[in-house]
């Protein structure tokens, strides 16, 4: 990736008071958790079949979140959307047992962390207040955090804004809780669309590359680009800031 896309010239003056970190995809491997749930539902299913059902799940959630953002559907928690997606997947393979469907839906809460997530958060937390900000509902976020062993000073759910990212109201939750102006917060995410939403409210931005993320385009300008949380911590160490 060209240096102009990796980080803006503002890096040398990058100062902020807290990190706001996305969860799904950035800290936990969401597809891996859902794949595990699909395999548990249909143990005989081959790899290609699992991927087809995973895509069915993901497309449903993305479509319905877009409908919420467009005002075509009232706000729904991630638990509701996951249950709807699980029903679609179960129907596709001819499983109609409500208990099995519910068990599959809960796979959206049992997501493994990336290998660098837990040590990376621990390292970052020694220098900065950490605010988790997720489209996962409150109950789902609690269980996600517990299952993956995520460390926060505060975790915020889009449920509190009754909408979902990239609606500015979700990022405003972190601004309000922090008591700081948006430009004193650094939004960290593996999704360029998420960082664009944060930028629209004035937050600084750090892209963290993940296999399941949404990479920047040629027109994106983020303050930092990192290859993982350890790399992000290294870059922040060099940039200075709270606790340094």
Domain with residue 76: its CATH number is: 1.10.150
Domain for residue 244, yes or no?
A: no
Neighbours of 235 (CB within 10 A): 18
| Phi, psi for residue 154 in degrees, rounded to 5 | -160, 140
- With tokens 């996951």, the residue in question is 82
| Position 202 pLDDT exceeds 70 | yes
Q: 241 vs 204, which has greater pLDDT? A: 204
Domain for residue 128, yes or no?
A: yes
| Position 244 pLDDT exceeds 80 | no
Confidence of residue 15 (pLDDT cuts 50, 70, 90): confident
pTM of the predicted structure, to 2 decimals: 0.92
**55 and 127 assigned to the same domain:** no
Q: What is the pLDDT of residue 242?
A: 64
Q: What is the pLDDT of residue 239?
A: 79
**123 and 51 assigned to the same domain:** no
Give the integer Cα–Cα distance in Å for 198 and 12.
20
Q: What is the pLDDT of residues 90-135, one digit of tens each?
A: 999 999 999 999 999 999 999 999 999 999 999 999 999 999 999 9
Query: Which of the listed residues 78, 109, 140 is the one where a domain comes to its end?
Result: 109
**Kind and range of the H or E element at 238?**
helix 229-239
Domain for residue 152, yes or no?
A: yes
| Phi, psi for residue 84 in degrees, rounded to 5 | -60, -45
Confidence of residue 14 (pLDDT cuts 50, 70, 90): confident
Q: What is the pLDDT of residues 142-191, one digit of tens each?
A: 999 999 999 999 999 999 999 999 999 999 999 999 999 999 999 999 99
Q: What is the pLDDT of residue 36?
A: 97
**195 and 233 assigned to the same domain:** yes
Number of domains in the chain: 2
**22 and 131 assigned to the same domain:** yes
Domain ranges, residue 86: 30-109
Take residue 242 and report the two structure tokens written for it: 């709270």
Query: Which of the listed residues 90, 109, 128 is the one where a domain comes to its end?
Result: 109
What is the mean pLDDT of the segment spanning 207-222?
96
Domain with residue 204: its CATH number is: 3.40.50.1000
Query: Which of the listed residues 51, 80, 109 is the one where a domain comes to its end?
Result: 109
Cβ atoms of residues 228 and 119 within 8 Å: no
Take residue 91 and report the two structure tokens written for it: 């129907």
Domain for residue 48, yes or no?
A: yes
Helices (H), 93-167: 98-105, 117-125, 138-148
Domain for residue 206, yes or no?
A: yes
Q: What is the pLDDT of residues 42-99, one digit of tens each?
A: 999 989 999 999 999 999 999 999 999 999 999 999 999 999 999 999 999 999 999 9
């Amino acid at each position: 990736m060209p240096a102009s896309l990796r980080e803006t010239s503002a890096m040398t003056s990058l100062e902020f008071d807290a990190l706001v970190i996305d969860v799904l995809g950035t800290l936990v491997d969401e597809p891996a958790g859902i794949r595990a749930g699909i395999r548990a539902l249909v143990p005989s299913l081959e790899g290609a079949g699992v991927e087809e059902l995973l895509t069915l799940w993901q497309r449903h959630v993305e479509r319905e979140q877009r409908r919420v953002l467009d005002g075509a559907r009232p706000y729904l928690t991630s638990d509701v959307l996951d249950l709807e997606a699980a029903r679609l997947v179960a129907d596709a393979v001819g499983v109609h047992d409500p208990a099995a469907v519910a068990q599959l839906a809960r796979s959206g809460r049992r997501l493994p962390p990336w290998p660098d997530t837990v040590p990376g958060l621990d390292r970052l937390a020694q220098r900065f207040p950490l605010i988790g900000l997720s489209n996962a509902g409150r109950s789902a976020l609690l269980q996600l955090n517990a299952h993956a062993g995520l460390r926060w000073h505060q975790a915020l759910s889009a449920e509190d804004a009754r909408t979902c990212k990239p609606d500015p109201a979700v990022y405003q939750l972190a601004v309000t809780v922090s008591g700081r102006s948006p430009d004193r917060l650094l939004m960290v995410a593996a999704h360029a669309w998420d960082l664009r939403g944060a930028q629209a409210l004035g937050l600084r931005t750090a892209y963290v590359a993940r296999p399941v993320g949404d990479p920047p385009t040629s027109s994106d300008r983020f303050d930092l680009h990192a290859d993982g949380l350890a790399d992000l911590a290294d870059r922040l160490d060099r940039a200075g800031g709270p606790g340094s």
